[in-house]
Homo-oligomer: A and B are copies of this chain.
Amino acid sequence: MNAGTPPPRRMRADAHRNYQRLLTEAAAAFAEHGADFSLEAIARRAGVANGTLYGHFPTRRALLEALMGDRMRALAATGAELLTARSPFDGLVTWARAAMAHTTIYRGLGATLMQAVEDESSELHAACKAVLAAGEKLLARARTAGEVRPDVTAPDLYALINAAAWAGEQSSPPQGERLLTFGLNGFRTSATDQALPLPKLTPAPK
């Protein structure tokens, strides 16, 4: 039932009940209205005071982690399984599509995931890093097989997945899938013929 990191052990009974109600309402509200939905309204719907919400989840990210942490770790595990796919590139593609579908569960989630992977203080940081690492392994295998350009990085893959999810939210889901497809095709070695020079990633400016 609980989809994320477990709450502190041995909560008082009423605290546990409030915790669960908040999670349930947040999941419904985020699914319907996006990950930016009012925390105040979520507390209201759960029948608790706003201070209670902040007591359990000090930030919006903490709430999202409780909701999605397990799902993200499952996504990373799926990536590990796909390392045995017959074609390394197909495995990469299958996983990238699953990752994009995951980003789409709550509208507006992509921005949070992009920031969390670079922000160590984010409650979602660990989960995002696990997803990034899973992508890196799939990428490395496809690279070794010569199916993917040698200069494609895990952050490239991570950014593509989230950006395509974003585009799908802005216009239509198929548009997002098309963007993901073009990007993945751009990763391929065959695209290296006459390929454009690739801007180099400098370490984060600040």
Q: Which of A's residues lie within 8 Å of B, judged by CB?
A: 93, 110-111, 114-115, 118, 152, 155-156, 159-160, 162-164, 166-167, 170-172, 174-175, 177-179, 181-188, 190-191, 193-202, 204-205
Given contacts A162-B167, A167-B162, A170-B114, are A195 and B205 in contact (CB under 8 A)? no
Select A195's contact among B160, B172, B178, B185, beta carbons within 8 Å.
B185
Cβ of A50 to closest chain B Cβ, rounded Å: 22
Copy number in this complex?
A: 2
Are B185 and A156 touching (Cβ within 8 A)? Answer: no
Are A177 and B199 touching (Cβ within 8 A)? Answer: yes
Are A159 and B155 touching (Cβ within 8 A)? Answer: no
Are B202 and A171 touching (Cβ within 8 A)? Answer: no
A152, A156, A159, A198 interface centre (most CB from chain B within 10 Å): A159
**Residues from chain B with Cβ under 8 Å of A110 in the complex:** 170
Chain B residue, CB-CB nearest to A151? B178
Are B182 and A155 touching (Cβ within 8 A)? Answer: no
**Residues from chain B with Cβ under 8 Å of A197 in the complex:** 181
User: What are 7 pairs between A and B in contact, CB < 8 Å?
Assistant: A152-B182, A159-B179, A162-B167, A163-B179, A174-B199, A183-B186, A184-B196
14 additional A-B pairs beyond A156-B179, A172-B201, beta carbons within 8 Å, are A110-B170, A114-B170, A162-B167, A162-B170, A163-B163, A163-B166, A172-B202, A177-B199, A178-B201, A181-B199, A185-B185, A186-B187, A190-B190, A190-B194
**Residues from chain B with Cβ under 8 Å of A170 in the complex:** 110-111, 114-115, 159, 162
**Residues from chain B with Cβ under 8 Å of A186 in the complex:** 181-187, 191
**Residues from chain B with Cβ under 8 Å of A159 in the complex:** 167, 170-171, 175, 178-179
